[in-house]
Homo-oligomer: A and B are copies of this chain.
Amino acid sequence: MGRPSQLLFLFFIVVLINIVDRCNGALLPLPMHLLRPQTGCHGHKIDGVSCLSWRFAVETNNLRNWKTVPAECEDYVGNYMLGHLYRQDSKAVTDQAILYAKSLNLTGDGKETWVFDVDETVLSNLPHYSQHGFGAKPYDSVAFNAWVETGKAPRLPESHNLYVTLRSLKIKVVFLTGRPESQREVSEANLRRAGYNKWEKLILRGEKDVGKLAVVYKSEKRRELEKQGYKIIGNIGDQWSDILGNSTGSRTFKLPDPMYYLS
C-alpha cells in the first residue's frame, strides 16, 4: 500500500474503534467525552452497576431512600436527562394523563382539580443539576436555594402541555410543592415566567410542615383540599411521595426523575 492509502486505512481503524467503543464502555474505560453513556447499546450487560437497571428500580419504587445517583451512573443519568429519552419518557406519561383527562365525564362544577408537584414536574431544575453532577453529588441546599431564587427554572414542556389541556377543560390547577413559604414570591414569578399563568392554589410548606416527610405533608394538604370541597381527579409528580399516601386522587401519574429521591 502507498502512504495515502495507509493513512486512509489508519483513519478507518480509528473511526471503527471509536464507534465500537461506544458499545464497550465497561471494557474500555477511557472517556472520549464527558457525557458518555456507560450502558446502552441495546442493554448489553456491563460489569458492576447497570445504570439501566438502577433506573428501572428507582422509577418503579423498588429502590427507596437512596441518597445520591451511583457515581458510575453520573454520565448515564446526564445523558438521559439531557437527551431525547427523558423528554420521550415524560411525554409517554403526559400523553396518558391527557387521554385520561379528556376521557372524563366532567361536571364543570368548578371543584374538579388536578394536583401538580412543582420541581421536576412543572418546572425543571436541570440547569442547576447539570452543574451539580445530575444527582451524583450530595444535595447542596445552599446552591439549590440560590438557583431557586433566580426564578429561572424552565418549564418541562410535556407538563405544560398537560396544564394547557386541563385549563381548556376548565379543570382547576393546584400546585403542591415541598418548597417553603419563603419561596412563594419567587416561585409564583417563576411559574408565570414559565407559562403557567393561572392556578387555584399554590401550596408551600408552612412553619408547621417543616421536617415532615413529603408523603405525609402532601397527603395532609390534599386531605385539606378535599375538605374544602375540591375533587382531586388527577395528581402528577416526579416522586412517588407525590402520589402515594392518602387522598392521592382518582388517578396518579409518575414522571421520570433519576436525579434524586424524596420520601
A248 vs chain B, min Cβ distance (A):
11
CA gap between A45 and B91 in the complex, in Å: 12
Across the interface, A41 reaches (CB within 8 A) one of B1, B42, B53, B60, namely B42
Majority secondary structure of chain A interface residues (helix, strand, loop or mixed): helix
Of the candidate stretches A3-11, A166-174, A214-222, the one touching chain B is A3-11
* Residue from A64, A91, A92 whose CB has the most chain B CB atoms within 10 Å: A92
CA gap between A181 and B41 in the complex, in Å: 44
**CB of A29 within 8 Å of the partner chain:** no
Is A56 within 8 A of B256, CB to CB?
yes
A16 vs chain B, min Cβ distance (A):
7
**CB of A164 within 8 Å of the partner chain:** no
Closest to A61 in B: B254
Complex contacts, A88 vs chain B, CB 8 Å: 43, 45, 50, 52-53
Q: A9-B8, A43-B40, A85-B52 are in contact. Are A59 and B57 (CB under 8 A)?
A: no
Closest to A15 in B: B16
Per-residue interface assignment for chain A, residues 92 to 111, with 1 indicating a CB less than 8 Å from any chain B CB and 0 otherwise: 11001100000000000000
Across the interface, A56 reaches (CB within 8 A) one of B22, B64, B92, namely B92
CA gap between A160 and B115 in the complex, in Å: 40
A88 vs chain B, min Cβ distance (A):
4
Q: Told that A1-B4, A40-B42, A41-B42 touch, could you supply 16 new A-B pairs with CB distance under 8 A?
A: A5-B8, A12-B12, A22-B41, A37-B43, A41-B41, A43-B80, A45-B88, A53-B89, A56-B92, A57-B89, A57-B92, A59-B59, A62-B253, A62-B254, A63-B92, A64-B96
